[in-house]
Amino acid sequence: MKKFLLALVLISFGAGAIAAVENPMEAMFKTWYGVKIKKVVKYWGQPTDIEYDQSQKKYKWLEHSTRYIPGTQYQKRVACERVLIVDVSGRVVFGKYNGTGCPFTTEGVKQWINPEF
């Protein structure tokens, strides 16, 4: 019984450690929190769209690409939208993403990480 409980505890800690691994896109956004949006635009280029709200702005970058489906000769169009929320002082306060073409590895988001972080 003790061995069973010990195994259960170890599995629980292991599952918690796996869940604690941060998504590379979310980690990338955090490198920009508190930074002026002008600096982001310097590295990312002009946004595709800007939405205005009373107390904040949403800066959006949309990228389309084509990926080959493994084991076939077929291609699939995918997109990734990155959104930065900026407060009235012009500083990034939050980031989010959407789409099937967003990178899911640290190497994939390397191009968007704040080089001054």
Q: How many CB atoms lie within 10 A of CB 30?
A: 15
pLDDT band (50, 70, 90) for residue 31 = very high
Cα separation of 93 and 44, whole Å? 17
pLDDT value of residue 15: 44
The type of residue at 2 is K
Q: Report the candidate in 116, 82, 73, 87 with the shortest Cα–Cα distance to residue 101.
A: 82
| Average pLDDT taken over every residue of the chain | 87
pTM exceeding the 0.95 threshold for the entire prediction:
no
pLDDT value of residue 67: 86
Cα separation of 101 and 105, whole Å? 12
